[in-house]
Structure formats: C-alpha cells, structure tokens
Amino acid sequence: MASTIVNAPCTVPSVKGFETQNYVGLRPISSLRFNSGRTSTSGRSRGLFVVRACERHDGHVKKIEMSIEECEAAVVAGNAPEAPPVPPKPAAPVGTPVIKPYQLTRRPRRNRKSPALRASFQETSISPANFVYPLFIHEGQEDTPIGAMPGCYRLGWRHGLVEEVAKARDVGVNSIVLFPKVPDALKSPTGDEAYNDNGLVPRTIRLLKDKFPDLVIYTDVALDPYSSDGHDGIVREDGVIMNDETVHQLCKQAVSQARAGADVVSPSDMMDGRVGAIRAALDSEGFHHVSIMSYTAKYASSFYGPFREALDSNPRFGDKKTYQMNPANYREALVEAHEDEAEGADILLVKPGLPYLDIIRLLRDQSPLPIAAYQVSGEYSMIKAGGVLKMIDEERVMMESLMCLRRAGADIILTYFALQAARSLCGEKR
C-alpha cells in the first residue's frame, strides 16, 4: 500500500497533540530521525508520523484525510509529500549518432506522440449514424447470396430483410436504402411496375414502417430494375434514352414510394430536370415532408459490376455514358450540383466514393447542402477479396476507406459495410 510520509514539526498546528494510537493509519516511527537540523529544547529529535491514505482494519477500508490547511502547512514547512521520480530518458540503440538537436520551431510529431493526444486532435470522426445501409430485396422467402459481393444477399422482404434491419438498428444504423430484384415477367420497356403501389418496394416500405416506425427509409428512383432494356430510362428504337418521358415515369415512381412511407426518395437516373419535376410532383400530392437525395455526380463507372449482378439489371445493349458522367470530368460536377440545388434537392450524392474523393470535396466546399457518398459494390468487393486472400487487413482497410470518405466531406455514406463497420465501432467481434 502506498504511503505518504509527512515530516512535520510538532509545533505545526495541523499535527499538534495527535495521539497516534487513537487513529487508524497514524503510527509513531522511532527508527527515523528528523533531518531538518532542528532539535527540541530537551535535545531529542521531534517525533515523526506516517499518514496513510487508507488502512485495512477488520476487513474494512477507513480513510484518514488531512484538511487543506494541514496539507498546506506541511508544504510551507518544507515537508512536501514525496512523488515518483522523473523516469530516466530511454536509451537509444547502440550506434545511434550523437548530434546536436535541430532548432525546429515546429515539430508536428509532438501532437501525435500518444494515443490520447492523437484522439484529442482527430479532425474527422465516424459513427453508425453516418451510415446508410443498402439492402437488396426480392419476392422469395429465402435469402440468396450474391456471388460477386461476399456477405451480401438478396433478402426475402418479409423475413430476411426484417432480421437484417433489426441487426443494423442494434448497432446504431437506422437508415437503409432499398434496391429491388424485380421478376423478369414484370419488366417492360416503359418500366410501369416502378409505380405500382402494391409492388415490391411499396409493400416493403409499409412492412418496415409497421415494425420500425422511426426507421429512415431511402428509396431508389430509376427505371433500370423495372426496364426490360436494363437502362435507367425509356429507350427509343434508335437506342436514345428519352429524357422528359423518363422523368414523367420517375415522378410517378417517387410519389408511389412517398405514399408508402418513404422518408427520402433518391433519383439515381441522371436525367436532366428530374429533381425539380419530382419535387413538384411530391408537393402537389402533399408530400412536402419527403426529402430528395439526388445522385448529383453519378459517373459512368466500371465499379458498378457486382451491383448489376445483384439486381440482374445489366443494360441489354450499349452503356450508360449518354446520361451518367464522364469519369474524366471534374467541373461538370458543379454544373449538376448547381442544377440540383436550384431544383430543390435536399442532399447531394457522389457515386462512386473512394475513387472520387476530389468530387466529394468539391461539392462539400461549394454547397451548403449535406453531401452523401456511395461506396459502391466494386469498392466493397475489392476490399472483401483482398481480405480473403490475406493481401490486406479487411477490417482496417474497411474503416480507413470509410474514414477517408468522411474526411473528404461526406456527411453520410451509403455502404454495404454498414453493419460490419458499425459492429467494429461498437467493439463487437465479427
């Protein structure tokens, strides 16, 4: 047990008249001698006593405390309590050159020298509240694994989905976005199934809202899951994607989703003018409270491959370069952002995420609106594959990639890692 030795003269009021035998933790020490050079008139050294912070007595701990005045008096008298010595300077390895330290005014490493300091000065934080969990749903009752996306499934909308949402909520992820695998028999060139009020997505929304009323549900507004051509819009016979006619369909889809209870509708189609048209359609139906998260800068990327396998929604012909953005373009993102802001978007999204950190930062610096980033299927699958092959530490790379998206300026991140990352943040083992 640690002890504090106070070498206090008997004339100090704080200790005068102490009967040490009457106090637990105070005992006379005859073997010690007062070394201040002073002696009493009788020539004997003045008595010393030991003050212990606590003492076990009959199995109980009793504390003996000195008043502030008594402690101050002891210090003033030159009898400050002892403290541990300054630790010796650690030795350098043999052969280290002996040099005169550089005269550096600024040494940034000083603020990184301990975990506590690094945590104090960390500029970016991440929590489960920053995640939106993309979930694939289908009409079946069984959950079907997605080969190109390890750990992801097409979830049965009545059972598997509900269980997955419950798991996510348990670790603080309370926002999801739904992507449906629509039966081929319901697909058509005009994607009419997209606004069927009793379709897969509206039914799922109603079910989730019944079970989890405070769950935040984002929906995807686009025709590709419902199109027999696999494109985000209506395809003319010469292969041109028809803009305004597609927007008309998207407005009906967004209203149908809002009617079912969606909190945020998310047009991912990249048609011109669709944000303003959807805002007007929602407002005209009384859904002023429903937000719009626009896929503002959605690039014609090769990172989407696993997603299209998940929904079986690959274009039947051609590509999506006439409506999705050129990966080589930077300033064009500002054009899209300014249009979406002017048309009433509530959130601006960049897709993909990690390869487009510069675009996330650009929108963050130029817009007051919340910025979302989509860590897409290709990003997810590469990290998973690298982890399986032991080429990287999956957990660390996952968290680093998410932190980078936050650092670039994303307020929320759509990520298939949402559940796994939230568990990691909460300290759970995978």
pLDDT of residue 17: 42
With bands split at pLDDT 50, 70 and 90, how would you rate the model's confidence at 313? low
Q: Write out pLDDT tens, residues 63-116.
A: 558 899 999 999 999 999 999 999 999 999 999 999 999 999 999 999 999 999
pLDDT of residue 63: 58
**Low-confidence winner among 66-75, 263-272, 314-323, 341-350 (lowest mean pLDDT):** 314-323
The per-residue b/e assignment along 300-333, b for 16 or more CB within 10 angstroms, e otherwise, is: ebebbbbbebbbebeeeeeebeebbbebeeeeeb
Q: Write out pLDDT tens, residues 390-401.
A: 999 999 999 999
CATH architecture group of domain 128-426: Alpha-Beta Barrel (3.20)
pLDDT of residue 130: 97
With bands split at pLDDT 50, 70 and 90, how would you rate the model's confidence at 317? confident
Flag whether pLDDT at 347 surpasses 70: yes
pLDDT of residue 286: 98
Find tokens 């079946």 and name the residue.
140
Flag whether pLDDT at 212 surpasses 70: yes
Q: Write out pLDDT tens, residues 144-162.
A: 999 899 999 999 999 999 9
* 380 three-state secondary structure: helix
Radius of gyration over every alpha carbon of the chain, rounded to an integer in angstroms: 34
Report, as an integer, the average pLDDT of 114-129.
95
Give the residue, 214 or 428, on which the prediction is more confident.
Answer: 214
Judged on CB neighbours under 10 Å (0-12, 13-18, 19+), 422 is: buried
Q: Where are the alpha helices (DSSP H) in 121-220?
A: 160-170, 200-211
pLDDT of residue 314: 74
Flag whether pLDDT at 4 surpasses 50: no
Residue type, 198: N
349, 132 Cβ separation under 8 angstroms: no
pLDDT of residue 30: 44
What is the bridge-based pairing of β-strands 371-375 and 347-351?
parallel
Average pLDDT value for the chain: 88
Q: Where are the alpha helices (DSSP H) in 102-151?
A: 115-120
User: What's the pTM value of the predicted model, to 2 decimals?
Assistant: 0.81
Specify the DSSP element, H or E, that contains 375.
Answer: strand 371-375
Q: Which residues are catalytic?
A: 298, 351
Q: Write out pLDDT tens, residues 373-390.
A: 999 999 999 999 999 999
**Low-confidence winner among 270-279, 315-324, 335-344, 360-369 (lowest mean pLDDT):** 315-324
